[in-house]
Structure 1
């Protein structure tokens, strides 16, 4: 790819052209070897004006905001032959304000059979994917209410992995699964389909043909033979859970189990793949060791940890992580970062399980802040590498992300609209966090320990909470006693990465320096000089001068530690 012409003081970098899959599923696809591309790629076209369906699903409107979810019981029957689902969701909620209407969501392709409060059938209005439920009397603030939402129909496969898909395993037996983060939980079950409000607990009951097993979130409670060729599988989720994390995995699974430091671990694979699963899934213990070391204990201990084989790449379904990496290291048999580190471990086990901490325990309030899930989870992949292989290999692993950054649109997008942020939320976001570590590292003994203490406290402060970008930034500002807002804003809310401009004057033995950045007040400290003899300067957006005996060719910037561009003139 050609590099566009640049001015004398413009900045550029060597980046690779890379493409993620559609964001229905989390892991990025493998990419070809790096090619040369400009740092400031062609800007993305302006986003299309949101349609009514996107606003109804994305906005936290008045009929969502007037109530607080407490509990779901999703009780359904799945018919592999008819490719249908039918049943009800019992929804318990507390009113936060007086009102007589609430919003629950269900795709227009599924039928609302009836909605009951006790024996009273409630009226409702459907508008795109929203179902507005009207009550005959005013529901009072502070009071708790329960409704039963009955529905049925044939889910329409949508998105890269279908939302809810009826497939066959290699033997021809049914293999039914859900993966619906972007398309929304309402593509297959009625729920308050947003991120901000989670139920405090949930029961999941799934009736399937008795030759099959359903694996869902939470702890297995038991199974009941219904006497008609179907068996109901019951699961209990004892933690808050986001609606898109709720999952059905239905197949003729083989099951094995283990424990690790008191945590129950359960694994489900097709019988033909059982031996491969027993070998590959052993890596889950090393994943737990690494993430618990840096962040704290596995966040859903009462519900246990599960890996469940699926026919797609993977997804972070809470306490029932979906796995489809073909029982091999790397990502789909590829060294997807092209630096020789990823073939040492199974990317899906590490990345998708990492979401148990960032994404499931800590959840963004709005899809626009999805970097809170993806950037932090991508970053802690490098901590897995650091824990098992050492910091130099972790730094090498981090460099593999640079080739995947596009810089076409901001990471934090418009809130209140159903829309997935750009892929830069993964790699650019993670590189921003690695830059933050270098910024806070004063290169004195104990710097790593101080960073890890901050990271641990950050996670512990927000675990089991739904948060915004502003809360993340405010926490780091308070704990570091620095104004990091311009740094976060530059990487999250603008397109280009910052450029350190260096203008050398051999006659005076000086170098003038400043940041070229879109965010006013950007002042990232950075190490310059020569490796092993760095000095920290704090450029601003005004020229400053530094005395140096180094020539332009000798003068270096620690670009392996900071995600920045450099221009020397």
Structure 2
């Protein structure tokens, strides 16, 4: 969710065109460090099966130390293995069996050298011992790093957020979204008296007799590297249930009553998302909301919440319609990521619209469940003022490059446009739920999404995906009057663009099938003013040539 805050800036700056230019990597000169992080090199030809992360966190020194045992299966013979850990963090040793391995470091990549190449299709593990002072975030979650704060009672309040920046900021791993461990054991030692909340189920605690207590959590499902977290504070805990899903809440003691009231929204949210997207995809690990010293993040089964118990986005409405003030943005958006981003994950961060476009759309889905389709359409239309249309949504592949921040509101409006093209809500909701079930716990790419949503309909959606995702501009529907005849066409970057669109002719709705060549209305339309495009349901630009 890290780019969402920039949408707030746009609202107050009058939707400046510099937004997507700031986020675009169009003119970036990529470095070897970008390729080491973003590409699947031969040294990364292994599949991570499990992480066992055991770390002690010293709040006073802002220092961490511990190990990660990486269990993996080789895909090819592997003489050298790349793992990732930020170069400011020290590697104390790397152990394979009983042997201490040599390694070389380049930027944030670590190349582990085996005495003999590991054979293809072999299951093995290495244990990486490390320590250091991790990077401190200046403005989490929009820059990655640790957050060391105090609560109102002077107790340590510590968390981490690393989406985009990379989980290798604080622990060694294969830092590429295409590879998720099938399970994880997360053991965090914190000063005794504090609570740690991590992903998955709490297995138990162990007093270490050095003033620290180790909190052990098990994640039983595949998990993104950047989702693996800790949350350390003087938490109080309360529980609830939705159907057979455990709902666990961890908040600061003085916010308990506010949290009980605010978090009541989780149940209607779950009711809506179960209906539209299918059951919660990490039921074995439970669902948690955890109060954090930063705004929020979609950390799997331990969703970070820092919206100060306000409706909207810190009391503001991203859509400018008032509809966004009916609900708590962070609860809905970050929980929506459990289906879109956590369960279904983009292979490459160039395709992060798969996370953010669908999750922003889930906000409108929630609005529709609670207050009806008209409000959902108004909300989506309101979000459009946050779109820059200055750079493509999809980034550059293989170099750790995200696309434009338009992936949030433009991605959501693309999905709403597809729904309108389907012109069959029963089919649309079935397809959307089938999508979440088909790719549950999988990593995918944009082409997979395009093929899936293209299959149920006769209209070829590929040119539509191309225009909205791979070009900066949206389709322009042009009308012109020549004599007594009125013609229409699409003006697009993509050739052979034949997207249907609904228009009102003298207040009667009809479906047009424009192409890139001019077509005339079959019946006489007296004036261009008699035409009104259904722009609530289709995110396009309309131009009348007089």
- Structure-2-length-normalised TM-score: 0.95
Aligned match of 2:116: 137
How far apart are the structure 2 equivalents of 1:174 and 1:320? 19
Q: Structure 1, residues 36-79: CA drift from partner, whole Å, max 9, x if none?
A: 87899989684221122222111121111x11110100001111
Aligned match of 2:92: 113
Of the structure 1 ranges 39-48 and 482-491, higher mean CA displacement relative to structure 2 is found in 39-48
1:70 to 32, 49, 63: 49
1:461 to 420, 427, 438: 438
175 and 521 in structure 1: CA distance in 2 versus 1, 3 angstrom threshold: same
Alignment check: 8 A CA contact 2:502 2:534 kept: yes
Residue 420 (structure 1) shift: 2.8
Aligned match of 1:377: 359
Residue 105 (structure 1) shift: 0.3
1:58 to 33, 38, 41: 38
Q: Structure 1, residues 153-180: CA drift from partner, whole Å, max 9, x if none?
A: 1102146314122222222211110100
Aligned match of 1:523: 498
Asked if residue 562 in structure 1 is aligned to residue 538 in structure 2, the reply is yes
32 and 138 in structure 1: CA distance in 2 versus 1, 3 angstrom threshold: closer
Residue 150 (structure 1) shift: 0.4
109 and 269 in structure 1: CA distance in 2 versus 1, 3 angstrom threshold: same
Residue 270 (structure 1) shift: 0.8
**Alignment of structure 1 residues 392-431 onto 2, 5 Å:** 392-431=374-413
Secondary structure of 2:455's aligned partner: helix
Of the structure 1 ranges 541-550 and 394-403, higher mean CA displacement relative to structure 2 is found in 541-550
2:285 to 300, 303, 307: 303
317 and 557 in structure 1: CA distance in 2 versus 1, 3 angstrom threshold: same
Residue 205 (structure 1) shift: 0.3
Residue 28 (structure 1) shift: 4.5
Q: How many residues align?
A: 540
How far apart are the structure 2 equivalents of 1:153 and 1:171? 28
The CA RMSD measured in Å over matched residues stands at 1.9
Q: Structure 1, residues 169-194: CA drift from partner, whole Å, max 9, x if none?
A: 22221111010001100001111111
2:216 to 211, 220, 234: 234
Aligned match of 1:484: 461
Secondary structure of 1:250's aligned partner: strand
Asked if residue 183 in structure 1 is aligned to residue 165 in structure 2, the reply is yes
How far apart are the structure 2 equivalents of 1:308 and 1:36? 32
Residue 336 (structure 1) shift: 2.4
Secondary structure of 2:92's aligned partner: strand
Q: Structure 1, residues 252-272: CA drift from partner, whole Å, max 9, x if none?
A: 111111111011111011111
Secondary structure of 1:293's aligned partner: helix
Residue 422 (structure 1) shift: 1.6
Asked if residue 503 in structure 1 is aligned to residue 480 in structure 2, the reply is yes
Residue 550 (structure 1) shift: 3.7
Aligned match of 1:448: 425
Asked if residue 123 in structure 1 is aligned to residue 102 in structure 2, the reply is yes
Residue 545 (structure 1) shift: 1.1
Secondary structure of 1:479's aligned partner: coil
Asked if residue 549 in structure 1 is aligned to residue 529 in structure 2, the reply is no
Residue 463 (structure 1) shift: 1.2
Alignment check: 8 A CA contact 1:267 1:307 kept: yes
Residue 118 (structure 1) shift: 1.6
Residue 328 (structure 1) shift: 0.9
209 and 421 in structure 1: CA distance in 2 versus 1, 3 angstrom threshold: same
The structure carrying a bigger helix percent of its residues is: 2
Alignment check: 8 A CA contact 1:70 1:93 kept: yes
Aligned match of 1:174: 156
2:514 to 536, 539, 547: 539
Residue 481 (structure 1) shift: 4.0
Secondary structure of 1:420's aligned partner: coil
How far apart are the structure 1 equivalents of 2:446 and 2:394? 8
Alignment check: 8 A CA contact 2:10 2:16 kept: no
- Structure-1-length-normalised TM-score: 0.92
Residue 222 (structure 1) shift: 0.7
How far apart are the structure 1 equivalents of 2:15 and 2:410? 17
Q: Which runs of 5+ in 2 are unaligned?
A: none
Residue 211 (structure 1) shift: 1.3
Asked if residue 275 in structure 1 is aligned to residue 251 in structure 2, the reply is no
Secondary structure of 1:338's aligned partner: coil
Aligned match of 2:68: 89
How far apart are the structure 2 equivalents of 1:255 and 1:531? 59
How far apart are the structure 1 equivalents of 2:352 and 2:202? 30
Secondary structure of 1:281's aligned partner: helix
Secondary structure of 1:561's aligned partner: coil
Of the structure 1 ranges 51-60 and 387-396, higher mean CA displacement relative to structure 2 is found in 51-60
Aligned match of 1:102: 81
Q: Which runs of 5+ in 1 are unaligned?
A: 1-20, 442-446
Alignment check: 8 A CA contact 1:27 1:351 kept: no
Secondary structure of 1:32's aligned partner: helix
Aligned match of 2:130: 151
Aligned match of 1:514: 489
Residue 549 (structure 1) shift: 2.9
